A and B are shown apart, each in its own frame.
Chain A
Amino acid sequence: MTAMATDSETSVTRTGARSPNSWGLGDGQAIPWEYAPAPEAREIVTLKERYGLFIGGRDVAASDGSTFVSVDPSTEQPLAEVARATPADIDKAVRAARRAQRRAWGPLPGKERAKYLFRIARILQERSREFAVLESMDSGKPIKESRDVDVPLAAAHFWYYAGWADKLDYAFPGRVARPLGVAAQIIPWNFPLLMLAWKIAPALAAGNAVVLKPASTTPLSALLFADVCRQADLPPGVVNIVPGPGEVGMSLVMHPDVDKVAFTGSTEIGKKIQRGVAGTDKALTLELGGKAANIVFDDAPLDQAVEGIVNGIYFNQGEVCCAGSRLLAQESIVEPLIEKLKDRLSTIRVGDPLDKNTDVGAINSKSQLEKISELVQSGVDEGAEMYQPACDLPERGYFFRPTLFTNVAQSHRIAREEIFGPVLSVLTFRTPDEAVEKANNTAYGLSAGIWTEKGSRILNMASRMRAGVVWANTFNRFDPTAPFGGYKESGFGREGGMHGLHAYVRLEDR
C-alpha cells in the first residue's frame, strides 16, 4: 500500500508541475486541478496464499504439485500461488465435466438451468466490488473500468443467457437444440472475468459442461468465480477451471473427449488451435486479434470523435482485441484533430490501477510491456513521428505512456501488427473509397469505427467494412444481446446475442 501511495503522489506532482501552455490553454486560464489519491480499498478481497484447480466442484492441487505465481503488474509483487494443471489434471477435469453433463446438467430442464444462471448473475452483482478490486489487482486494469465495465457486463451476460436456457426452441425455430457436451474454453488476460462470462454463460445455458483455462497472468478472478459456482450450488463438474500457461490450454484442446473448443486470444495461437482440431469432430469458435480502423470524416463532431478515439485505443491500456488502433482521419481535418487528441492525451492519468481517477493502468505483464516497447521502437525506426504526453510513470510496475504516431504508412509494422497496447497510429485519407480501401487493408477484421454526422454514409461505410462489429459515432460498446466476433483472421463464430448460442448447440430435426 505504501508503494501505491507513493505512485499516486508522484503523479500528482507531475500534473501540478505543468505550465498552462502545455495544456493547450490560453493566457489567464487556470491550471487544471490536481487530483488527490483516491485508492480503492483492497481489504474487500481476501487473497488465499495458494489456489488449487477447480475440478468436480473441488479445490484440488495439481497432480504433480506444481504451481506458478500470479503477479500484480502495477507493483510486480506476487499476489498468490496458483496450481498449474498437468495433462493428467486436464483429463480429470474433462471426465468430471463429461460426468456432470451426462448425469446432472444435460438432463436438467432448461427452466432449472436458467435459475442456476440467474443465481450466478445475482451473486456476481452482489459481490461486484470484490470482483472489481481483484480484477484490477491481478490484471492491472483501472478500477473504474473493472467496476463499471468488466464486472457489470459479466453479470449481464449470465443474466441474458439465463433467459435463453429455457427458450432454445425460440432461438432455433423448427429445430431441436441439443448441447454439444463438454466445451474446452481458453480465455485471454485482457478481460479475465468478462471473457469467462462470455464463454461459460452461453455454454451452460445450452446444457454443456465446461473446462475453462484462464490466462496464466490473470487466473484469480476465475478462481474466485469457482466460489460463486459453489455459492450457487451449481452441480459439481459443470464448471471446471484449470489454470496454467499455453501448453495447458493446448493439451485441453487436444483432449479426445472434448466436443467443442472456444478460444479467445492471438491469431497466432488461434491458428495452432485450428490445426489442433483438424480432422476431428470438435466444434470450434475463435475470437482473435484485430487492427481496427477508426475512420473520422470531415463532418464528424470532432470533440465527440476525440473521446471515441481515446476510448477506442486507451481503454484497458489498449489491450483490447477490437481496439481502434488505426485512426483514419480525412485529410482536411487531420491537423485540428491531432491537436485536440494531443490535448486530450495530456489529461490522461496513468498510474495505480486501484486509484479511482486512473484512466490507464498497468500493462498486464512484463513480456507484454516488452512487446509494446519493441513495436513502438519499430515505429520510430521506420520513420513515423511519435508523440507521448509528458507524464511520469510509477517507478515500479509495468507502465507505458499513451502513445500517438503520426506520418504512419500502411507498410509500417505499427499499422499492420496488433500492438495490444496504448499506441495509436494515425493515417489519412481523402475519399470514402480510400478510407474503405485502407480500413480493409489488413488480415484482421474484428471491428471498425465510423465518425460522421451523415447517417447514409454511416450505413454505406458499415456495409463496406470487412469487420464483425462496426461502431458508428461510438466505440468499444459491448452488450450481452449484441453478437461480437470477427471476419477474416480475426476468427469465426459470434459471442453474445442469439448467435452466441449457436456455438454451443447441435441442431437436430424435430
Chain B
Amino acid sequence: MATRRPAGSAGRSGASRAVARRAQAAADGAAPARIAVRKTYKLFVGGAFPRSESGRSYLVSAADGSPLANASRASRKDLRDAVRAARKAFPGWSGRTAMNRGQVLYRVAELLEGRREQFVAEVAAAEGVRDAAARAAVDRSIDRWVWYAGWADKIGQVLGSSNPVAAPYFNFTIPEPTGVVGIVAPETSSLLGLVSRLAPPLVAGNAVVVLASETRPLPAVTLGEVLATSDVPGGVVNLLTGYRSELVPVLAGHADVDALDTWGVPDPMRTDIELLAADDVKRVLRRPTTVSESRFDWLDDRAAERPEWIAAFLEMKTVWHPIGV
C-alpha cells in the first residue's frame, strides 16, 4: 500500500485517479485496468450490518471536498431498533466477569492493530490529515483500548468501598453498570475521539448506541467491523451514521436509554438535549462548556484517559448485612 495516498484506500478520488491511470495504460496496450470493489458503509445494529430501514444515505466527502462514499442515513426507527438491541444485549454483557470484559476489550485492540493501515488511510481521508497524524491517532486508539481494558477488573476496587458504619453491619458499596448508554461521538476526531468515548461505558458493562460523527462517519463504520469480529457480543455496541439534528433528540428523548454522553452534541442543541434527558432522569456526561469540541486534544493521555468517564456510567450499590451469631 502506498504510504502517501491523499484520500486513502477507501477514497473515491484516489480510486478514480487510479482508474484513469489504468485506463490510459490499457489504451497504451497494457493489461486492462482492474476495477476496485468498493465498500458499502452500513449501520451496525445488533451485531449485523443493515442499511437504514429508510433506504436513505448521504454523501460523505473528504476534507478536501472530494467524495468518499455514501453513508447510511439512519432514521428514528433505526435508532429505536438500536436501543432495543442494546437493551437485549445488556444483561449478558453486564453479567460477564470483569476479567472477561477486559479480555474482550483487549481483543478489540489486537484486531485494530492488525487493521492499522486501513484505519490510517480512512482517518487520513476523513480528517484531511497527513498519514503521520492519522497514524498517531490510530496507534493511540489501539493503546486506549488497552488502557481501558485494564480497568475492567480494577474500577470496582478503586470506586467500591467497605464502609465502617457505627453498628454491627457489614456494609459495602459496589459499582454496577447503568444500562443502555447513548453516545454522541465527537464530530472532529473520527476514530480516536470515538474510541475514547466508547471504551469507558463499555468496560463498565453497559450496552451502547453510538451516533458517529456526522461529517466523518466512515472510520466508525469500519470500527464496527472490528467490534463485530472481536468477541464483543452482538448488540453491545450499536453504531449509527446520519444527521445529528434528526437523531440526537430521539436518542435523548428515548425512555429506554439510561444515560447519555453528549460530548459531540453541537453547542446550539445542547440545552434542548439536556431538557429532553431530564424527562426520565438520564445521567448526562457533558463536555464542559469551556472545552472546544474541535480543539480537544485526544492524543493527550492525561486529558483523554479518565476513570471518571467509566464512573459516569456506573451506579453505586450499597449493601447492608447484619453481623451477629
Contact = CB atoms under 8 A, between A and B. Distances in A.
Interface string B59-83: 0000000000000000000000000
B153 A459 contact: no
B321 A456 contact: yes
A497 B150 CA distance: 13
Contacts of A162: 150
A367 interface: no
B154 interface: yes
Contact of B99 (A156, A164, A456, A463): A156
B2 interface: no
A460 B146 contact: no
A307 B32 CA distance: 74
Given A114-B146, A159-B102, A459-B170, A481 B324 contact: no
A438 interface: no
Contacts of B153: 160, 163, 480-481
Contact of A163 (B143, B150, B321, B323): B150
Interface string B149-171: 11111100110000000000010
B118 interface: no
Contacts of B99: 156, 159-160, 480-481
Nearest to B153: A481
B307 interface: yes
Interface in A437-496: 455-457, 459-460, 463, 480-481
A457 B157 contact: no
B322 interface: yes
A167 B151 contact: yes
Nearest to A461: B325
Contact of A459 (B143, B146, B152, B323): B323
Nearest to B142: A115
A53 to B, nearest CB: 32
B106 interface: yes
B147 interface: yes
Interface string A424-438: 000000001000000
A118 interface: yes
A111 interface: yes
B173 interface: no
A201 B134 CA distance: 34
B157 A163 contact: no
B103 interface: yes
B261 to A, nearest CB: 21
Contact of B322 (A165, A167, A459): A459
B147 A111 contact: yes
A221 to B, nearest CB: 22
Chain A CB within 10 A, most for which of B147, B152, B154, B322: B154
A498 B324 contact: no
Of residues A163, A463, A481, which shows the largest number of chain B Cβ atoms within 10 Å of its Cβ? A163
Given A159-B102, A456-B321, A170 B146 contact: no
A455 B322 contact: yes
A111 B321 contact: no
Nearest to B152: A163
Secondary structure of the B side of the interface?
helix
Contacts of B106: 118
A159 B158 contact: no
Nearest to B157: A498
Contacts of B170: 459
A4 to B, nearest CB: 35
Nearest to B106: A118
B102 A481 contact: no
Interface string A213-248: 000000000000000000000000000000000000
A164 B149 CA distance: 11
B325 A432 contact: yes
B151 A163 contact: yes
Nearest to B155: A170
Q: Looking at B147, B157, B301, which has the most chain A CB atoms within 10 Å of its CB?
A: B157
A164 B158 CA distance: 12
Contacts of B147: 111, 114, 166-167
A164 B150 contact: yes
B324 A456 contact: yes
A455 B321 contact: yes
Nearest to B98: A481
Contacts of A118: 106, 146
Most chain B beta-carbon neighbours within 10 Å: one of A115, A156, A456, A497? A456
A369 B72 CA distance: 71
A156 B103 CA distance: 10
Given A163-B153, A164-B150, A170 B323 contact: no
A457 B325 contact: yes
Residue from A156, A162, A165, A167 whose CB has the most chain B CB atoms within 10 Å: A167
A355 B89 CA distance: 40
Nearest to B107: A122
A456 B150 contact: no
A165 to B, nearest CB: 8
Contacts of A165: 150
Given A114-B146, A118-B146, A163 B102 contact: yes
A111 B154 contact: no
Given A111-B147, A115-B146, A118-B106, A497 B325 contact: no
The 9 closest A-B pairs by CB, nearest first: A163-B150, A459-B323, A456-B324, A456-B322, A459-B170, A460-B323, A432-B325, A481-B153, A498-B157
Interface of A: 111, 114-115, 118, 156, 159-160, 162-167, 170-171, 432, 455-457, 459-460, 463, 480-481, 497-498
7 contacts: A160-B153, A163-B152, A163-B153, A163-B154, A432-B325, A456-B324, A460-B325
Interface of B: 98-99, 102-103, 106, 143, 146-147, 149-154, 157-158, 170, 301, 307, 321-325
